[in-house]
Amino acid sequence: MPHVDELRAKLIEDAGSAAEADRLLPALRHLADWPAPTPTALETDRLVQTLAAELSAQRSSSIVSLMAGLLRAQLRVVQHEIWLASAFVMTLGVLVTLTLQPGTSIELLPVVLLAPLMAALGIAFLYGPAADPSLEIELATPASPRLIVLMRLLLVFLFDLVLSLAGSAALVVLQGSWSLWPLVALWLAPMTFLAALAFLLSVLFIDPLISALICLVLWGLQVLRAFPPFAAFPDWLASDLRPWLWLMALLCVSVALWLAGREERQLLKRI
Amino acid sequence: MVADTFTMNIRSGPRHDLSAPTDAQLARRVQRGHTSDLAPLVERHHSPLLGFLYRLTGGDRPLAEDLTQETFLRALRSIQQYQTSRPFKPWLYAIAVNVARDHFKRAETRHAVTLTDDELLALPDPIDLEETIEIDGPRLALAISALPGQQREAILLRYYQDLSLAEMASVLSIPIGTVKSRLSLGLRQLRLSLKDEAVCHTSMNSARN
């Protein structure tokens, strides 16, 4: 009976001697008299389902907590001047808009003209060694620097978005001449595009000043459209251009993240 | 019949198709969040693990099922800590042993065993049981359940789960020498328990006759 030999061999290994193994063998053979239950396929399926639900919950909670952690961390890293300058510019824009005569064209409202520029200038200063003193530490963390930059972009953009929404809402409440949604729709797409473009330019040129300057010139042309020599420039506030602006914003962020990833790999190689 | 059952039990571990992914490969994919790889991993280990915990809990099936689920849940929660360069089975059984120990600690369900290891070693060898005892599943379950926890774990891991001494050492976080000593003491204690059972059984039969 090979199984007895197998058992005996195991016992000799465990007990250290053949004599001891032979003394233990009779007891060991009785261990097989105690069968264990076998789970049914349904029970196994149920267990797999429970575990799969746990795995999904675990993943979502870890992704959410990672994102929240990164956002919190970026809050400390982003230069404080960006928050202060944005809040100051938006408050000023709302105050100036309130002093305007009723009947002023909605497209010329300072809030509409300032919101995209404010977001672009804030975001232009997010990337690059000058704007990122903690770059070396970021490269050593498990989170990809590309993800960190994306979180920072999101944080500043969300802040500017909230500011612009609050400014627009304040105007609607205090002035009463405009509705909220048409006002928001006017600046939202240009603001997103200009912010995305600023991000791409700062990744491309590394120097935030160049990025800020290009955005300033581009948006300046939009503002100067009111004057005949600049009327040929495409109107970013026109509703038929909005889908294109959204698309180009997506493209700019994608290219910028790809470039940032490449930059990050080169930096790691150099380190 | 005994031989068949034993052969079935001792070889009831997972049989892998050579082309099928290994436990470690499946675990690595689960670590990356592939839910679909959870099913084959669980299917491979559910039955043996339930069997192990069933015997460890003295044949309490509902409790064994709860502990099995808890083991898998705990394994899943700490799956990122599993090093795929090491075998998966000992890692999983180490979690199962800890889950069972936690349960026993909480519920104080373990029966006290009064004899110490030194006292056991000092006892004379019992008579050969092969010729004198008719043992069945429930009595054996009782005898194994009465073993001190550490010896019981060692006996079950070695003779039912078919773990090597090195794997047991990894599961129990003890040196191989200690594994051997626990096995030897466990078998010795088991023989004593079975002998007592046999004496009682024989006395009862004589009284009936």
Domain boundaries, chain B: 21-107, 117-208
Q: Please answer whether residues A197 and A120 qualify as being in contact, where contact means their C-beta atoms are separated by less than 8 angstroms.
A: yes
The better pLDDT of the pair B174, A31 is held by B174
Nearest to A238 by CA among A124, A127, A107: A107
Among chain A, residues having any CB pair with chain B shorter than 8 Å are 1, 3-4, 6-7, 10-11, 13-16, 20, 23-24, 26-39, 43-44, 47-48, 50-52, 54-56, 58-59
In a domain, A208, yes or no: yes
In a domain, A71, yes or no: no
How high is the pLDDT of residue A140? 61
> Is the domain of A51 the same as that of A85?
no
Q: Which domain holds residue A13?
A: 1-61
How high is the pLDDT of residue B84? 87
How high is the pLDDT of residue B102? 92
Band the pLDDT of B2: cuts 50, 70, 90: very low
How high is the pLDDT of residue B170? 92
Instruction: Report the distance separating Cα B14 and Cα B40, nearest Å.
Output: 11
- Asked if domains B21-107 and B117-208 share a fold, the reply is no
Cα nearest neighbour of B7 on chain A: A3
> Phi-psi region for residue A16, left (φ > 0), alpha (ψ -120 to 50) or beta?
left
How high is the pLDDT of residue B111? 45
In a domain, A211, yes or no: yes
> Is the domain of A38 the same as that of A130?
no
Cα nearest neighbour of A32 on chain B: B6
In a domain, A106, yes or no: yes
pTM over 0.90: no
> Does residue A1 carry a pLDDT above 80?
no
In a domain, A72, yes or no: no
The class level of CATH for B21-107 reads mainly alpha
Residues in CB range of B170: below 8 A, 6 or more apart: B86, B87, B90, B91, B94
The two structure tokens encoding residue B162 = 């078919």
The class level of CATH for B117-208 reads mainly alpha
In a domain, A54, yes or no: yes
> Is the domain of A251 the same as that of A217?
yes
How high is the pLDDT of residue B6? 41
Cα–Cα distances in angstroms (integers) from residue A50 to residues A54, A252, B8, B38, B53, in the given order = 6, 42, 29, 11, 19
B180:A59 CB<8 A: no
Share of chain A above pLDDT 90, in %: 23
Averaged pLDDT for residues A205-225: 86
Cα–Cα distances in angstroms (integers) from residue B131 to residues A22, A208, B17, B184, B197, in the given order = 14, 91, 42, 22, 14
Averaged pLDDT for residues A134-141: 60
Chain B residues with CB inside 8 Å of A38's CB? Answer: 47, 50-51
Residues in CB range of B131: below 8 A, 6 or more apart: none
In a domain, A138, yes or no: yes
> Does residue A190 carry a pLDDT above 90?
yes
Residues in CB range of A3: below 8 A, 6 or more apart: B3, B6, B7, B10
> Is the domain of A84 the same as that of A176?
yes
> Is the domain of A9 the same as that of A126?
no
Chain B residues with CB inside 8 Å of A30's CB? Answer: 2, 129, 135, 140, 194
How high is the pLDDT of residue A179? 85
| Number of domains within chain A | 2
Residues in CB range of A167: below 8 A, 6 or more apart: A90, A91, A93, A94, A111, A115
> Is the domain of A120 the same as that of A181?
yes
The two structure tokens encoding residue A240 = 């038929």
How high is the pLDDT of residue A246? 94
User: A-B interface: how many C-beta pairs under 8 angstroms?
Assistant: 134
CA–CA min distance A258, chain B (Å): 22
In a domain, A25, yes or no: yes
Q: Please answer whether residues B56 and B161 qualify as being in contact, where contact means their C-beta atoms are separated by less than 8 angstroms.
A: no
How high is the pLDDT of residue B141? 79
The better pLDDT of the pair B57, B121 is held by B57
